[in-house]
């Protein structure tokens, strides 16, 4: 099977950024991933999964996040960049801006959010929710090249969708300290860490969130995406070119080392 060390998981519209793309079918314990592409982004071989399928048929709450991440792990991926369209809650952020979030809040409801539904009971540390090294590279490459206004911090709240939020929900998220809202950032970030992969998100603002503009439509999201896509692809290309063959200098590969309880000895458990 073809292998790759770096992957992008993105919305619809990124498929064409790869040259010499081959489509793979990868079987996993969670289902088969049939839309995984391997190809070249400039000089680097990468994997790409269009989250919503190749013909945009999978809504955010029905994406098989576990199969996608497991399939990437199976083909050797160590480093994943997730791209997301987001609505701006923080009114300093404007449509077409780029955001590299540093933290997230999970408001999803019915998604399989872990590979560890059974023993060993596993509690991964999310004190640093995204890989700091991958974030650093994304921030450097977003800033350095001035493609668009970029924000190097932001709290992303992920909602279940597929409907957009109400103004009251957005006001609640604002009071909670959230800057941007999307429907696809989670549980991707969680599952990647459970597989010891580096993961960071590259978001672009497609609209002001509900209540901050008159109404929200997918058409607007795709029109802003078309404008932002060349910048996003440049940032991805340069960031990926800056990732060396060896693993980044971060602790993502050790994410599970201290994530489990030590089994109590009989005498201490009787105390």
Q: Scan for tokens 């458990």, then name that residue.
A: 269
Shortest Å, Cβ 110 to ligand HPA: 16
Total residues binding ligand HPA (CB under 6 A):
14
Whether 243 and 79 have beta carbons less than 8 Å apart is answered as yes
Question: In whole angstroms, how close is the CB of 257 to ligand HPA at the nearest point?
Answer: 34
CB of 83 vs ligand HPA, minimal distance in Å: 12
Q: Does 228 bind ligand HPA (CB under 6 A)?
A: no
Q: How far is the CB of 163 from ligand HPA (least distance, A)?
A: 9
Contact 72, 53 (CB under 8 A): no
How many Cβ atoms are within 10 Å of 177's Cβ, its own excluded?
12
Q: Which two tokens stand for residue 147?
A: 């493609």
Question: How far is residue 58 CA from its own chain's centroid?
Answer: 16
Helix/strand/coil for 106: strand
For the record, the structure tokens of 215 come out as 């109404």
Binding to ligand HPA by residue 209, rule CB under 6 A?
yes
The contact pattern for ligand HPA, residues 18-47, with x = CB under 6 A and - = no contact, is: ------------------------------
The dihedrals phi and psi of 221, each to the nearest 5 degrees, come to -60, -45
In DSSP terms, which residues pair with 103 in a beta bridge? Answer: 155
90 binds ligand HPA (CB under 6 A): no
Check residue 164 for interaction with ligand HPA (CB under 6 A). yes
Read off the tokens for 28. 């996993």
Torsion region of 146: left, alpha or beta (phi above 0 gives left; psi -120 to 50 gives alpha) = left
206 binds ligand HPA (CB under 6 A): yes
- Contact, 147 vs 231, CB < 8 A? yes
From 13-21, 102-110, 204-212, 246-254, give the range in contact with ligand HPA by CB under 6 A: 204-212
Under rule CB under 6 A, residue 85 binds ligand HPA: yes
Q: Tell me the closest approach of the beta carbon of residue 202 to ligand HPA, in angstroms.
A: 14
Half-sphere exposure of 270 (CA within 13 A, CB side): 3
CA dist 49 and 51 (Å) reads 6
d(CA 49, CA 57): 14
Q: What is the 3-state secondary structure of 143-183?
A: HHCCCCCEECCCEEEEECCCCCCCHHHHHHHHHCCCCEEEC
Piece of the chain touching ligand HPA by CB under 6 A; list 51-59, 73-81, 119-127, 178-186:
178-186
Beta carbon of residue 212, minimum distance to ligand HPA (angstroms, whole number): 9
Q: Taking the complex as a whole, how short is the minimal distance between the CB of residue 193 and ligand HPA, in angstroms?
A: 22
Which of 72, 73, 75, 221 touches ligand HPA by CB under 6 A? 221
Write down the least CB distance from residue 16 to ligand HPA, Å: 21
By CB under 6 A, name the one of 87, 95, 129, 187 that touches ligand HPA.
87
Given the complex with ligand HPA, which of 84 and 239 has the nearer CB atom?
Answer: 84
Binding footprint of ligand HPA on the chain (CB under 6 A)? 85-87, 159, 164-165, 181-183, 206-207, 209, 216, 221
């Amino acid at each position: 099977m073809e292998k790759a060390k770096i992957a992008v998981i993105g919305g619809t519209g990124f498929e064409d950024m790869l040259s010499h793309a081959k489509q793979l079918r990868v079987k996993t314990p969670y289902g088969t991933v049939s839309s995984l592409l391997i190809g070249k982004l400039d000089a680097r071989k990468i994997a790409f999964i269009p989250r919503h399928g190749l013909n945009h048929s999978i809504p955010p709450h029905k994406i098989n996040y576990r199969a996608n991440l497991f399939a990437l792990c199976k083909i050797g991926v160590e480093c994943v960049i997730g791209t997301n369209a987001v609505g701006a809650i923080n009114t300093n952020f404007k449509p077409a801006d780029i955001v590299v979030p540093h933290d997230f809040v999970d408001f999803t409801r019915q998604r399989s959010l872990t590979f560890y539904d059974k023993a060993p009971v596993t509690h991964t540390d999310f004190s640093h929710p995204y890989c700091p090294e991958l974030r650093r590279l994304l921030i450097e490459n977003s800033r350095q090249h001035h493609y668009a206004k970029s924000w190097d911090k932001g709290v992303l709240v992920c909602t279940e969708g597929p409907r957009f939020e109400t103004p009251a929900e957005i006001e609640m998220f604002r009071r909670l300290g959230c800057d941007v809202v999307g429907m696809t950032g989670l549980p991707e970030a969680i599952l990647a860490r459970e597989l010891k992969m580096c993961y960071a998100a590259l978001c672009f603002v497609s609209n002001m969130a509900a209540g901050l503009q008159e109404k929200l439509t997918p058409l607007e999201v795709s029109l802003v995406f078309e404008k932002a896509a060349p910048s996003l692809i440049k940032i991805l290309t340069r960031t990926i070119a800056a990732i060396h063959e060896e693993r980044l200098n971060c602790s993502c590969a050790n994410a599970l080392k201290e994530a489990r309880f030590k089994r109590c000895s009989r005498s201490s458990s009787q105390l």
